Amino acid sequence: MTQDDPTQNKHRSGAPWRNFYGRLKGKGLRDSQQEYLDKDLAALSPGAVDWDDNPDRTPLNLNALFDGKPVWLETGFGGGEHMVHQAATNPEVGIIGCEPYINGVAMLLGKIRKAGCENIAVHPGDVRDLFDVLPEHSIDKAFLLYPDPWPKKRHHRRRFVTPEYLNPFHRVLKPGAEFRVATDIPDYVRQTLEEVPRAGFEWLDERPSDWRDPWDDWISTRYEQKALREGRIPHYLTFRRL
């Protein structure tokens, strides 16, 4: 290890050095949103995820968390519309949502209160830290919906569909698990179709409707509505973990 190799440096907690480029907080939160964060967020934790809380990277006990239910994962849940919809529609599963943008987390918490869902856990941070402590082959289904496109070519390495994310992601999914990707960015589609199969997934594509039409249980998100208003075409890609 050399001093000028940041990828090999570690924090005092033992955490690897991971650059994070997305937004953590936007405009000021409303009083009600701050209340959600203060009163509800801690109780929805999936367990010790952050390195300061879990330096030994002890795996989460998902069986205890969700009473042995199948576990789904949504990474980057935005305002939480889709995740709450899935949780309310599928009470027989547990859903973990991961989102570092605290304004989105606050929006989700308000929706959880309104819907009364009790099968959701929330990690308000970097999904790579969550991957560290998810047990191997523990996730039955996963969603990546309208992720940050990082449109500039030099920023494509920041996208989720890169080995840095996909390799640990593959480890935590069960063989045969379904992985859904929705995006309105053509180049994100290109990179997804190149990188996800390389990481050990099969694209379930038999006819054009398989990527043109949304899933039967889909609920359109505010990000999708913005894309449609601006004339961009959504793509719905379904993969199976090999």
Q: Which residues are catalytic?
A: 148
Q: Is 12 annotated as a binding residue?
A: no
Q: Is 148 annotated as a binding residue?
A: yes
Give the CA count within 13 Å in the CB-facing half-sphere of 149.
16
Q: Is 57 annotated as a binding residue?
A: no
Contacts by 115-118, CB closer than 8 A, 24 or more apart: 115/84, 115/87, 115/88, 117/84, 117/87, 117/88
Q: Is 221 annotated as a binding residue?
A: yes
Q: Is 152 annotated as a binding residue?
A: yes
Token pair for 203: 């694209």
Please tell me the distance from the alpha carbon of residue 177 to that of residue 239, in angstroms, as a whole number. 8
Q: Is 74 annotated as a binding residue?
A: yes
Q: Is 224 annotated as a binding residue?
A: yes
Please tell me the distance from the alpha carbon of residue 45 to that of residue 70, in angstroms, as a whole number. 17
Q: Is 184 annotated as a binding residue?
A: yes
Give the CA count within 13 Å in the CB-facing half-sphere of 231.
0
Residues placed in the known binding site: 74, 99, 126, 148, 152, 184, 221-224
Binding site feature residues for S-adenosyl-L-methionine: 74, 99, 126, 148
Query: Which residues contribute to the annotated binding site for substrate?
Result: 152, 184, 221-224
